Amino acid sequence: MTAVGPGVSIEPGSVRIFDTTLRDGEQAPGAGLTAAEKLEVARQLVRLKVDVIEAGFPAASPGDFEAVRRIAEETRGVAVAALARCKDGDPQRAVEAIRGAESPHLHVFIATSDIHLKHKLRIGRDEALRQAVRWVTYGRQELGAGAEIEFSAEDASRTDVEYLLDIYEAVVAAGASTVNIPDTVGYAIPAEFGRLVERVVARVGRAATVSVHCHNDLGLATANTLAAVQAGARQVEVTINGLGERAGNASLEEVVMALRTRPTQFPELGSRIQTEQITAASRLVSYLTGFTVQPNKAIVGGNAFAHESGIHQDGVIKNPLTYEIMTPQSVGLSGSQLTIGKLSGRKGLQGKLHELGYELEGDALDAVYRQAIALADLKKEVTDADLLAIVERRAGDVPASIQLEGWSVTSSHGGKGTGTVSISVGGEVHATEATGNGPVNALYSAVDEVLQPTLGWHPVLTEYEIKAVSAGEDAQGQVLVRCRRSSDEGPGALVVSGHGLSTNIIEASLEAYLVAVNKLHGAEINGIDPAFASRRSAEELP
């Protein structure tokens, strides 16, 4: 074990995996998660064995603070990080949120490029350096020698190199145990980024861990990250599925599997990631955020291990290594098939879920079992995709203060529909009827007519997507909706997602709408500030 700065120890040859899915990943427009959903993702990240979970930006809103606090207190075996600007109020809030963590990790940042200093912060280089030192010193004093204090120089790849080195040297002297080099706008290319990392390692690498945080604006986030590791970086900041602002961040699964698959390019370097949990993590994040993984996405895409060409098929049958540089099992996929039907038992279902990357037991297993058996009564066969949809739907459950008691709809040629709904709001049941352009629109209109006088707002549908979970006329339909409150307008309006799942697509649509309604209502009750989204996007984060 080698000590690197106060409070830091890393195994020789290890690369620390800093996952920022819950912070930078969540900044992708429309990817907002509830506190409960963030905790569910954090639990999966623990199973994945990431080294650090950046749980959020506590100063952003009461909801984000609560999510970070819960993750800090309820997860073990992993460091929990909170992001803060080098600005009075932010670091204090972040420290408060992570005090309960087994391994607290304070991450402070300030912009250092001239374009950011002049046009965004409107301060000079000396003031930026002073603020960086001030808040690193504060973090070290508040959290003590055992905590990780990380400093990020926002837009480092466009910062004057000599000034950048000076500021890193100053913050390390003030107590920073990690210095992060963000390619905030995805500007760098691998060769030049590697040279920059080499200079930072040469200046402060004996006293602190050197980290990198790469964005994908030029499609080079993973390449830049790997170039940085070869140049001496020993922490990489990544997200599941490459989720993040604009074109996204460096993808955890790509970076980790590159280190594992190409050992001669990264001699004696690796991570502690449990790679068999990668697919489960990818699917969970995709489901909860509503961001579908493209089929040709490396490692976790639906076609990543698919072979259609006859030449490829022949080669793979003879030896998978002809066209696969890693096994599907190494990232949590399975080549075997277990069919789940109405005569299956809990043990059989548990075994199948294990193959798919999920470990369920007790009440959670019972709940999924009941849904799977009920579905088996409606379908000829419950497929892997059906089971994944059931498990993922459970992960996205939200408290329901607004409940659907019943519904009916009629529709005829020409598209017109009439829908009736009965809805419980705070224990009081309301029923109404409405017409619309088709059955789904009619039911949504009926829901709106109940909610407007009761809550003072109704949901406004911004996106509606429907897909079949599996093939066949008896397939389950999965519906994704995104909604905002009618009382919120403009770019800062809070937009949430809702999912529905049923063999009846109208029922799935209605279920998805009510999930979104409950998220919006919960945000209203908990005082989440919808305008924060616009404030956050106005400031580039590392």
Q: What is the pLDDT of residues 489-513, one digit of tens each?
A: 777 788 888 888 888 899 989 988 9
Q: Is the domain of 83 the same as that of 194? A: yes
**Residue located via tokens 């489901």:** 287
- Non-local (6+) Cβ contacts of 193 within 8 A are 157, 183, 212, 214, 224, 227, 228
The more confident residue out of 533 and 479 is 479
Average the pLDDT over 429-437 and give the result. 93
Indicate which CATH number applies to the domain containing 496: 3.30.160.270
**Residue 442 CB: number of other CB atoms within 10 A?**
23
Least-confidence region, from 88-102, 254-268, 429-443, 477-491:
477-491
Does a structural domain hold residue 101?
yes
Rounded to whole angstroms, how far apart are CA atoms 207 and 533? Answer: 37
For the chain, what is the mean pLDDT? 86
Does a structural domain hold residue 309?
no
Report the C-alpha dihedral over residues 395, 399, 402, 408, rounded to 10 degrees. 30
Q: Is the domain of 77 the same as that of 54? A: yes
Rounded to whole angstroms, how far apart are CA atoms 150 and 237? Answer: 12
Q: Is the domain of 383 the same as that of 414? A: no
Could you give the residue ranges of the DSSP H alpha helices within 231-335?
A: 252-261, 278-289, 310-318
Can you give the residue range of the structural domain that contains 390? 334-395
Q: Is the domain of 338 the same as that of 449? A: no
The more confident residue out of 160 and 542 is 160
Does a structural domain hold residue 9?
yes
Q: Is the domain of 368 the same as that of 412? A: no
Answer whether residue 307 shows pLDDT above 70: no
pLDDT computed for residue 433 by the predictor? 94
User: Tokens in use for 298?
Assistant: 């490396």
Q: Is the domain of 463 the same as that of 515? A: yes
DSSP 31-42: ----HHHHHHHH
Q: Where are the beta strands (DSSP E) in 319-376?
A: none
| Domain end residue (candidates: 380, 395, 410) | 395
CB 368 within 8 A of CB 353: yes
Q: Is the domain of 77 the same as that of 216? A: yes
How does residue 471 score in pLDDT terms, banded at 50, 70 and 90? low
Looking at the structure of the chain, the number of domains it has is 3
Q: Is the domain of 360 the same as that of 480? A: no
Does a structural domain hold residue 295?
no
CB 273 within 8 A of CB 46: no
- Non-local (6+) Cβ contacts of 314 within 8 A are none
The more confident residue out of 217 and 416 is 217
Does a structural domain hold residue 321?
no
Nearest CA-CA partner of 331 in 389, 407, 256, 408: 256
Highest mean pLDDT among 160-164, 270-274, 407-411: 160-164
Q: What is the pLDDT of residues 253-278, one digit of tens each?
A: 999 999 999 999 999 899 999 999 99
Rounded to whole angstroms, how far apart are CA atoms 227 and 269? Answer: 13
Measured at the alpha carbon of residue 92, what is the angle toward residues 87 and 98, in degrees to the nearest 5?
125
Q: What is the pLDDT of residues 62-89, one digit of tens each?
A: 989 999 999 999 999 999 999 999 999 9
User: Tokens in use for 408?
Assistant: 């009916």
Average the pLDDT over 510-536 and give the result. 70
Q: Is the domain of 250 the same as that of 367? A: no
Find the radius of gyration of the CA atoms of the chain.
Answer: 25
Indicate which CATH number applies to the domain containing 147: 3.20.20.70
Does a structural domain hold residue 310?
no
Could you give the residue ranges of the DSSP H alpha helices within 379-495?
A: 384-395, 439-455
- Could you tell me the pTM of the whole model? 0.75
Q: What is the pLDDT of residues 333-343, one digit of tens each?
A: 754 334 566 66
pLDDT computed for residue 540 by the predictor? 42
Does a structural domain hold residue 203?
yes
Going across the sheet that includes 417-425, the strands are 402-411, 417-425, 428-436
Q: Is the domain of 142 the same as that of 28? A: yes
Does a structural domain hold residue 511?
yes
How does residue 389 score in pLDDT terms, banded at 50, 70 and 90? confident
pLDDT computed for residue 79 by the predictor? 97
Answer whether residue 539 shows pLDDT above 70: no
- Non-local (6+) Cβ contacts of 246 within 8 A are 186, 215, 216, 217
Rounded to whole angstroms, how far apart are CA atoms 112 and 137? Answer: 18
| Domain end residue (candidates: 367, 395, 423) | 395
User: Tokens in use for 145?
Assistant: 């020698």
Answer whether residue 122 shows pLDDT above 60: yes
Q: Could you tell me whether strands 52-56 and 496-502 are parallel, antiparallel, or unpaired per DSSP bridges?
A: unpaired
Q: What is the largest CA-CA distance in the chain?
A: 75
Q: Is the domain of 414 the same as that of 391? A: no
pLDDT computed for residue 328 by the predictor? 78
Answer whether residue 282 shows pLDDT above 80: yes
Answer whether residue 467 shows pLDDT above 90: no
Q: Where are the beta strands (DSSP E) in 352-436?
A: 402-411, 417-425, 428-436
Least-confidence region, from 301-315, 347-361, 381-395:
301-315
Q: Is the domain of 115 the same as that of 241? A: yes
The more confident residue out of 387 and 472 is 387
Average the pLDDT over 167-191 and give the result. 97
| Domain end residue (candidates: 227, 262, 289) | 289
pLDDT computed for residue 498 by the predictor? 87
